[in-house]
Amino acid sequence: MSAPLQFMPRRTSKASLEEMAAITPILAQLRFSDDDIVRLLSVNTPGGLEALRQAAYDLTTAEVGNKVFYRGIVELSNICVLDCYYCGIRKSNRDIERYSLTKDEVIETALWCAEAGYGSCVLQSGERRDKRFVDFVEDCVRKIKTRSVSETLPQGLGITLSLGEQRLETYQRWHAAGATRYLLRIETTNRELFRKIHPEKQSIETRLQALDDLKSAGFQVGTGVMIGLPGQTLEDLAADIRFFEGRDIDMIGMGPYLMSQGGAMRTEGMLEKHKLMPLALKMIAVTRLVLRDVNIASTTALQALEHDGRERGISFGANVTMPNITPRAVRKNYQLYDNKPCTDEDTEDCRSCLEKRVVSAGREVGWNEWGDSRHFGRRQSGSI
Ligand code: SF4
């Protein structure tokens, strides 16, 4: 099945035709050189963009199917011990009200996913490593797992964690409690850029070690980057894709870099929307072409740029979306970036709105399914 053409104007310009001719042989390849990746990321005509989109969309259908899977996000606390310069809830931002959901609130919110047919939830939070927090998460995971078992979900909800860098032992405990997927974004693999957007004591080595530890703890491992960071080049983004490939990553969650008033990078500005959106979409498409069978999320940040940003992400090769189900009373306090969408929608409204978005991108919703990464399955069975 093919999603409706979105970027082809009625009359195809000479530049579009030339670019389509130039990239068609690259799109037909199974393996891509660094130059190929940069070439595809630099596509800049409607025809070239549409050819890239169609190739990524068709490969998604062939490799991971026609379904889009939901993971309801529970933002359980905005307390964070770190200070990433791009982030609106970093510890130095004194202008937000800090909150932590109670255990019952976390569990009940997650269980709403099971009733709504979402199949999976994500527990996300600012970073904390203290014993109380580690125990809290372990208990939430165990209880969500047990209480969500039903006829439609015989193994309970799929649980993804997005709780930052932790010790190997912590990852092992949370995995044993029933969480099976973990998202930890590298943000950028360019070491110089990483240093610029983080305080000195947050090192890329620690992040890399954490990604290794997650794999050895048995998780399906997800990572991702920010697209359009000040100073970032197309070669950097190509290297990011190579990094995902080299690390045998199972899931990708990446989105455009959006400035935050609570962050410490306000003077650097951000890419204009008309450049940032296509760049983010091209990253999704090229990542799909290179990695093939991984799960790729169409993130909320895309929707912050354009009202149909999530549909566009799906149309360019994403097969996962993560609706926010955090209780509305605290949702406004989890602003990682400015103008985060869906901070005021009711979760029920969000459910039907999202289904329309998925269908409009030519896909169907994988109700009551975990939608695990096929790449992980193949990695586990030793077939790759
Ligand atoms: S990005 Fe995550 S770890 Fe960094 S300051 Fe924000 S919440 Fe904390």
CA distance 166 to 302: 28
> Above 70 in pLDDT, residue 7?
no
Q: What's the gap in Å between 326 CA and the centre of ligand 1? A: 17
Ligand 1 pocket, mutate which of 127, 254, 299 (most atoms under 8 A from CB): 127
Asked if residues 294 and 315 have their Cβ atoms less than 8 Å apart, the reply is: no
Reading the block at residue 94, the tokens are 């004194």
Q: What's the gap in Å between 352 CA and the centre of ligand 1? A: 30
As a whole number, mean pLDDT of residues 7-26 equals 85
As a whole number, mean pLDDT of residues 121-130 equals 97
Atom index in ligand 1 nearest the CA of residue 78 equals 7
pTM score of the predicted model: 0.94
Q: What's the gap in Å between 202 CA and the centre of ligand 1? A: 11
Asked if residues 262 and 285 have their Cβ atoms less than 8 Å apart, the reply is: no
Q: What's the gap in Å between 198 CA and the centre of ligand 1? A: 10
Express each pLDDT in 156-210 by its tens digit: 999 999 999 999 999 999 999 999 999 999 999 999 999 999 999 999 999 999 9
> Above 90 in pLDDT, residue 333?
no
Q: What's the gap in Å between 63 CA and the centre of ligand 1? A: 33
CATH number among 3.90.920.20, 3.40.640.10, 3.40.50.300, 3.20.20.70, domain 65-381? 3.20.20.70
> Above 90 in pLDDT, residue 138?
yes
Quote the pLDDT of residue 277: 96
As a whole number, mean pLDDT of residues 227-241 equals 98
Determine the longest span between alpha carbons in the chain, in angstroms.
Answer: 63
* Smallest CA separation from ligand 1 atom 2, residue: 126
